[in-house]
Amino acid sequence: MARMLLSGDEAVAAAAFDAGVTLGTGYPGTPSTEILEAFSKLGGKAQWSPNEKVAMEVGLGAAYAGAAVLVTMKHVGVNVAADPLFTAAYTGVTGALVMISADDPGMASSQNEQDNRHYAVSAAVPMIEPSDSQEAYDFLIAAYDVSRRWKIPVIFRMTTRVCHSKSLVSRRQFPAPPAADFVRDIKGRVMIPAYARAAHRRLRQKLAEMAQWNETSNLTVRTAGDKSLGIITSGISYFHTCEAAPQASFLKLGMTYPLPLNAIRAFAASVDRCLVIEEGDPWMVDALLAAGIKVEGKAEPFRFGELNVDRVRRIINRDTSPEPAPARGKPPQLCMGCPYRTVFEVLRKLDCIVSGDIGCYTLGVLPPFEAMDTCVCMGASLGVGLGMRHVLPEAQARRVVSIIGDSTFVHSGISGLVEMIYNPPATGHLLIILDNGTTAMTGQQEHPGTGRTLTHDPTGKVTLEKIAQSLGVKQVQVTDPTADPAGFEQLVRDRLAGNELSVIIARKACLLAAGKIREYERRAAEQCTTCDCGDACAPRGQ
Ligand SMILES: Cc1ncc(C[n+]2csc(CCOP(=O)(O)OP(=O)(O)O)c2C)c(N)n1
């Protein structure tokens, strides 16, 4: 096949497609979102799940049934998927499962820069890290081989630069993987303690075998150079270092867990000074030092943010002098005409204590609104708001409002609403769902509340107000805040004054998505002749 210019995300999608991956599941999150979208465009079957835990579980079920599966998420998504991941390591898989962890060192678009290499160690699953798009392609194929051979989920860790940079990729052809087929394995897949104890031992045995295999695997590349400086590295750091110290000797690792300790030990002994260049936490250097290998790491300031050629030069030169401040960019802001603006204006005017959440609307924290007081992780607005309501003096408690986007509500807000019903504060509580009909922040993906699939075709729709009502919220109001801002303000005032539990769904389509949504609805109305898809087809009659 001809060579193509692909991003790392597109290369992963192409590899998954070429390798015959049967199903891709995931939840959007920068920098991983494009993978499933590209996989779907190539003709692969891809679907958004309500959240990463569900995506992992659906993937796991498919892999138990013998299929090859791709599960995608950003780094914080792995926190959500961690519960099934850790025990999936015990059960293993029958087909093959690769989980993409797209990490965001430097936090281009995330709330933290957690280094998910730690997950490989704590979940005890192998981890593979590509450096560019060709490796994203080749290593993904290798990840499926590892997963199939050792019957284990594999973490495929990428970072923003690898996900989004474009480089040339040669694609190949592969034989089709075996068809799905259920083979009973009760002791292998039902993790009661008696079976799990044996499973843990099996897992450690697999890791020992994989470590042995990795000692000579072709995922490791050794380049002989100047003996005075040896560099151990992986991922994007490899390219920064090639430019910063082209004369050095290199040991570039592809599979970074379990580490090929003997190969590393031999490399370290072959050079005068052996330096580990890694982005994020001093994860690898700590592991190597713990194994008694004489290596040197980086100074603490380089733990923060992305590395680049200049920073790698500084690490090599042990230069910890102040770094130049990055050029100031233009701060992001809520779009002009964004329906959330009205909501934040009201919250600001009423001096609400706003327990916020993650999405475009987090920008309500910035001037001119400054109408958000907390933001932790997806879904936290409910729990954090309720916690404040429980302990604050009444006058303050009455000012507490939780706000959450529609996609985030479906992702992990519903359980917070269950908590609100179960443990209601004495002053009641108000949740405002900002329903703009899309997952705007990550590029307008569909979610269960839109009633459309990843490919924008109609499917079952989860209706937010029905969820709130069925859970027992008495005061549920759906309103377009922009249609009558004064009326919206009065509504919020009324809800804050009472002691009831209330939900206001502020519904108005994202300005940037509205045209596309109308087009999807028109297309669906044309296609849908036998209407049995409930609310998804509602616009048909309009
Ligand atoms: C666990 C986790 N998964 C994914 C993300 C990426 N992400 C942040 S907010 C968000 C959803 C935003 O959609 P919505 O709640 O509808 O708000 P909008 O952006 O449309 O205002 C996503 C996918 C994340 N931060 N954390």
Q: Which atom of ligand 1 is nearest to the CA of 77?
A: 1
Of 362, 365, 408, 434, which is best to mutate to test ligand 1, by the most ligand atoms within 8 angstroms of its C-beta?
Answer: 408
Confidence of residue 403 (pLDDT cuts 50, 70, 90): very high
**Closest C-alpha to ligand 1, atom 15:** 405
Structure tokens at 52: 């990463």
40 contacts 23 by C-beta, under 8 angstroms: no
Q: What superfamily in CATH does domain 340-516 come from?
A: Thiamin diphosphate (ThDP)-binding fold, Pyr/PP domains (3.40.50.970)
* pLDDT grade for 533, boundaries at 50, 70 and 90: low
- Looking up tokens 């790392």, which residue turns up? 8
Is the CB–ligand 1 distance for residue 449 below 6 Å?
Answer: no
Separation between Cα atoms, residue 206 and residue 220, nearest integer Å: 19
Instruction: Determine the distance separating the centroid of ligand 1 and the alpha carbon of 358, expressed in angstroms.
Output: 5
Question: What pLDDT is recorded for position 534?
Answer: 54
Read off the tokens for 34: 């494009």
- Chain-centroid distance of CA 82 in Å reads 12
Which tens digits make up the pLDDT trace of 97-129?
999 999 999 999 999 999 999 999 999 999 999
Residue range 126-163, pLDDT digits in tens: 999 999 999 999 999 999 999 999 999 999 999 999 99
What is d(CA 276, CA 295) in angstroms, rounded to the nearest whole number?
7
Region label for 370, one of left (φ > 0), alpha (ψ between -120 and 50) or beta (otherwise): left
Q: Grade residue 528 by pLDDT with cuts at 50, 70 and 90.
A: low
What is the structure's pLDDT at 530? 55
Atom number in ligand 1 closest to CA 361? 21
Instruction: Give the relative orientation of helices 75-91 and 52-64 as an angle to the nearest 10 degrees.
Output: 30
**Bridge pairing between strands 96-103 and 154-159:** parallel
Check pocket membership of 76 for ligand 1, CB cut-off 6 A.
yes
Burial of 301 (0-12, 13-18, 19+ CB in 10 A): middle
Beta pairing partners, 231: 250, 275
Note whether 3-214 and 221-316 share their fold: yes
Distance 442 CA to ligand 1 centre (A): 7
Angle between helix axes 340-349 and 485-497 (nearest 10 degrees) is 50
CATH class of 221-316: alpha beta
184-221 residue pLDDT tens? 999 999 999 999 999 999 999 999 999 999 999 999 99
Is the confidence at residue 529, as pLDDT, over 70? no
Q: Which pair of structure tokens corresponds to residue 133?
A: 């798009």
Cβ neighbours, 10 Å, residue 450 = 26
Q: Whose CA is nearest to atom 9 of ligand 1?
A: 359
pLDDT of residue 79: 98
* Ligand 1 atom showing the smallest separation from residue 76 Cα: 1
Q: Which of 441, 445, 452 to mutate to test the pocket of ligand 1 (most atoms within 8 A of CB)?
A: 441
Residue with tokens 């769902």: 433
Across the range 215-236, mean pLDDT stands at 98
Report domain extents, the chain. 3-214, 221-316, 340-516
Is there an atom of ligand 1 within 6 Å of 383 CB? no
| C-alpha of residue 178 to centroid of ligand 1, in Å | 35
Q: Which residues pair with 75 in a beta bridge?
A: none
The helix/strand/coil state of 395 is helix
Q: Mean of the pLDDT values across residues 435-451?
A: 98
pLDDT value of residue 306 = 97
Instruction: Give, for ligand 1, the residue of 37, 73, 358, 414 to mutate: max count of ligand atoms closer than 8 Å to Cβ.
Output: 358
Question: What pLDDT score does 542 carry?
Answer: 28
Ligand 1 centroid, distance to 361 Cα (angstroms): 10
Q: Which atom of ligand 1 is nearest to the CA of 409?
A: 15
- 440 CB under 6 A from ligand 1? yes
Name the residue type at position 4.
M
Q: Residue 376: CB partners within 8 Å, gap ≥ 6?
A: 111, 384
Q: Residue range 488-511: average pLDDT?
A: 98
Q: Is the Cβ atom of 356 under 6 angstroms away from ligand 1?
A: no
**Ligand 1 close to Cβ of residue 438 (< 6 A):** yes
What beta strand segments (E) does 164-247 contain?
166-170, 221-223, 226-234
Nearest ligand 1 atom to the CA of 404 is 15
CA angle, corner 483, sides to 513 and 431, nearest 5? 80
Distance in angstroms (rounded) separating the CA atoms of residues 525 and 461: 15
Greatest C-alpha distance within the chain: 76
Å from CA of 357 to ligand 1 middle? 9
134 lines ligand 1 (CB under 6 A): no
| Closest C-alpha to ligand 1, atom 12 | 359
Q: Which residue's CA is the nearest one to ligand 1's atom 22?
A: 29
Ligand 1 atom index nearest CA of 447: 16
How far CA 144 is from CA of 15, 74, 134, 155, in Å, comes to 10, 20, 16, 10
Query: What is the full DSSP assignment across 285-350?
Result: HHHHHHTT---B---GGGGSS---HHHHHHHHTT--SPPPPPPP-PPP-PPTT-THHHHHHHHHHT
Mean pLDDT of the chain: 96
345 CB under 6 A from ligand 1? no
Do 78 and 85 touch, CB atoms closer than 8 A?
yes
Give residue 518's identity as a one-letter amino acid code.
R
H/E stretch holding 434: strand 429-435
Question: What average pLDDT does this structure show over 67-94?
Answer: 98
Q: Tens of pLDDT along 354-374?
A: 999 999 999 999 999 999 999
Enter the pTM of the model: 0.96
Pocket test for ligand 1, best of 27, 439, 512 (most atoms within 8 A of CB): 439
| Torsion region of 379: left, alpha or beta (phi above 0 gives left; psi -120 to 50 gives alpha) | left
Asked if pLDDT for residue 425 goes beyond 50, the answer is yes
The answer for residues whose C-beta is within 8 angstroms of residue 137's C-beta and 6 or more apart is: 6, 11, 12, 14, 15, 169, 170, 171
Task: Judge contact between 155 and 125, C-beta under 8 A.
Answer: yes
pLDDT for residue 539 is more than 70: no
Question: For 355-450, where are the alpha helices, taking DSSP H only?
Answer: 380-391, 394-397, 406-408, 414-422
pLDDT, mean of residues 432-443? 98
Whether ligand 1 lies within 6 angstroms of the CB of 360 is answered as yes
Contact 443, 513 (CB under 8 A): no
Q: How far apart are the first and last CA of the chain?
A: 48
CA 522 / ligand 1 centre spacing (Å): 26
Any idea which architecture 3-214 has in CATH?
A: 3-Layer(aba) Sandwich (3.40)
